Amino acid sequence: MEIQTLARTELLQVADAVARDKGIERDEVLEAMEQAIGKAGRAKYGHEHDIRAAIDRKTGEIKLARYREVVMGPEQVENEMAQIPLREAQKIDEKLRVGDFITDELPPIDLGRIAAQTAKQVIVQKVREAERSRQFDEYKDRSGEIVNGIVKRVEFGNVTVDLGRAEAMLRRDETLPRETFRTGDRVRAYIMDVRQEQRGPQIFLSRTHPTFMALLFKQEVPEIYDSIIEIKAVARDPGSRAKIAVVSKDSSIDPVGACVGMRGSRVQAVVQELQGEKIDIIPWSPENATFVVNALAPAEVTKVVLDEESGRIEVVVPNEQLSLAIGRRGQNVRLASQLTGWHIDILTEEEESKRRQEEFQRRSKLFIEALDVDDVIAHLLVTEGFTSVEQVAFVPIEELAEIEGFDEEVANELRLRAQAWLEEQAKKLDEERRELGVEDALAQVPGLSMGLLVALGRKDIKKLDDLADLASDELIELVGKENLDEEDANAIIMAARAHWFADEPAPAAETAAETAAGAEAEG
């Protein structure tokens, strides 16, 4: 059929219907139609021609025209059918300039079966691209929200969800264990990511993300929605168990009670949505030790020891509480660690007592051998918190004298013995360092004790360049984490590399200045 025989109003009605159905702009549909008709025109008159179609937005009238671009001269003409030199163009119209177009109206074309099919494909493609662009613009800023949709299809466990104005993907690893979906099921999920990919915008959903649980509580608990209660952290073992830490900004409102709800109604609504996932609601605390104790609930904790430098925390529990604190397959302590951000080591009271006794005996033995004292004095030093001979050697005499049963004379004698022992140890280590072949230049590096030098010598690090070639983590591995931290390791390595930069030639400007100064002095 001929294009002109189409009812003009019908063409606009089709454009309106497609735009309304796909949720895109009417102009985008009409532009797609123009491109399709232009492509059909090129198929009829020749692809080398620049043929364009225009649809009147008010009447629906279609106009077809050939365009020829005006170029400077014949040498610039690359396509004779689509370009014309300026001199020839001005014979047609003197006002034409380079870059203008000459348009020749063409008669209506008869769309054959192939041309009609091509036009339809172009329209479908352009409409699909416009639809995808609209989807991306609509959802790109909605990442982090909860959406409701209907399962459209399930393939190998991956669920395609119809969100109404877009489709989203719920991958198998983002669904809860033992959770199955069928076509037509309603599903609620968290928009984890919206990405523009080659095949179009992709919306990725999740039901295992920790934020999904936090947003579910926000929907169920008005106090969270109103920001009276704040969710500080969430840790999940999806489909099995979870912990959520909450704090109230209003001292009169119990954050845990508000999240649980009357007879557990609020928390149960979240549990049902998450297929029976057990949820522990934990009161958050700014004090790390208290927060860790709360996070290990329902287990009871008797003692906590923090090591802030390493980010570890040691927790002591009664013997009968050990299995409860660890949880099935370590689940409870793992979730508590994720929730608090601390690495948690759990000991029973019996294990902690045994270790403390061993530590007490080891330190006492050290003081007995190093200071040549009896076990009573050694035990007193350990009980007062002394852990090394260095502490005894350099502590103020007044502090030693304050220990019950000590006086200044005893304190002074202990200090002198400690210092003498340290000197003797240093001498032995220095001899061993020399026997190992560790050069003196390495011994001059700031931050390297005799003990560290011997440890390096045993690992075949004997020269300055051997140390300078190491990375900080390699140095720590050679001497042990307990003997060196990352900051000190970096400082030692930079000091060892200093001689590399000292050997570099002076910049040209400085060298010239020195030469001139030398010549002036000689003159």
User: Is 415 within a domain?
Assistant: no
Tell me which of 283, 318, 352 is where a domain ends.
352
349-371 and 375-383 helices cross at what angle (nearest 10)? 130
The alpha-helical segments, DSSP class H, found in 229-330 are: 255-260, 265-273, 288-295, 322-326
User: Is 344 within a domain?
Assistant: yes
User: Is 386 within a domain?
Assistant: no
Same domain flag for 120 and 145: no
Q: Which residues contact 286 (CB under 8 A, 6 or more apart)?
A: none
Same domain flag for 161 and 198: yes
Question: Which pLDDT value is given to residue 111?
Answer: 52
Contact status, residue 22 vs residue 131, Cβ threshold 8 Å: yes
pLDDT band at residue 22 under the 50/70/90 scheme? low
Tell me which of 206, 241, 260 is where a domain ends.
206
Same domain flag for 80 and 23: yes
Same domain flag for 307 and 237: yes
Structure tokens at 37: 């008709």
The CATH number of the domain holding residue 298 is 3.30.300.20
Residues facing residue 70 across a β-bridge? 84
| Residue position matching structure tokens 């040209």 | 508
Same domain flag for 263 and 328: yes
User: Is 517 within a domain?
Assistant: no
Residues of the chain with pLDDT > 70: what percent? 89
Same domain flag for 299 and 330: yes
Given a cut of 60, is residue 520 above it in pLDDT?
Answer: no
What is the domain extent for residue 346?
A: 222-352
Tell me which of 113, 134, 155 is where a domain ends.
134
Given a cut of 60, is residue 308 above it in pLDDT?
Answer: yes
Structure tokens at 378: 């050694």
d(CA 393, CA 421): 9
User: Is 249 within a domain?
Assistant: yes
* Single-letter residue type at 396: P
pLDDT band at residue 297 under the 50/70/90 scheme? confident
User: Is 75 within a domain?
Assistant: yes
C-alpha dihedral, 322 to 327 to 329 to 330, nearest 10°: -80
User: Is 266 within a domain?
Assistant: yes
Same domain flag for 126 and 13: yes
Residues facing residue 53 across a β-bridge? 64
Q: Are strands 200-206 and 186-197 parallel, antiparallel or unpaired?
A: antiparallel
Q: What pLDDT digit, counting tens, does each position of 497-519 carry?
A: 887 876 555 444 444 444 444 44
Query: How wide is the angle at C-alpha 72 spanned by C-alphas 70 and 78, nearest 5°?
Result: 70
The CATH number of the domain holding residue 182 is 2.40.50.140
pLDDT band at residue 118 under the 50/70/90 scheme? low
User: Is 381 within a domain?
Assistant: no
User: What does DSSP assign to residue 283?
Assistant: E
* Single-letter residue type at 86: L
CA separation, residue 242 to residues 192, 209, 264, 274, 291 (Å): 19, 11, 16, 10, 16
> In 3D, which of 125, 100, 115 has the Cα closest to residue 28?
125
The CATH number of the domain holding residue 42 is 3.30.1480.10
Contact status, residue 370 vs residue 421, Cβ threshold 8 Å: yes
Q: Report the Cα 417 to chain-centroid distance in Å.
A: 54
Question: Which pLDDT value is given to residue 6?
Answer: 44
User: What does DSSP assign to residue 210?
Assistant: H
Contact status, residue 484 vs residue 452, Cβ threshold 8 Å: yes
d(CA 5, CA 1): 7
Same domain flag for 233 and 314: yes
Residues facing residue 303 across a β-bridge? 316
450-458 and 408-436 helices cross at what angle (nearest 10)? 30
d(CA 187, CA 149): 5
For the ranges 127-136, 221-230, 464-473, the one whose mean pLDDT is highest? 221-230
Same domain flag for 127 and 146: no
Same domain flag for 297 and 321: yes
Q: What is the pTM of this model?
A: 0.59
Domain count, the chain: 4
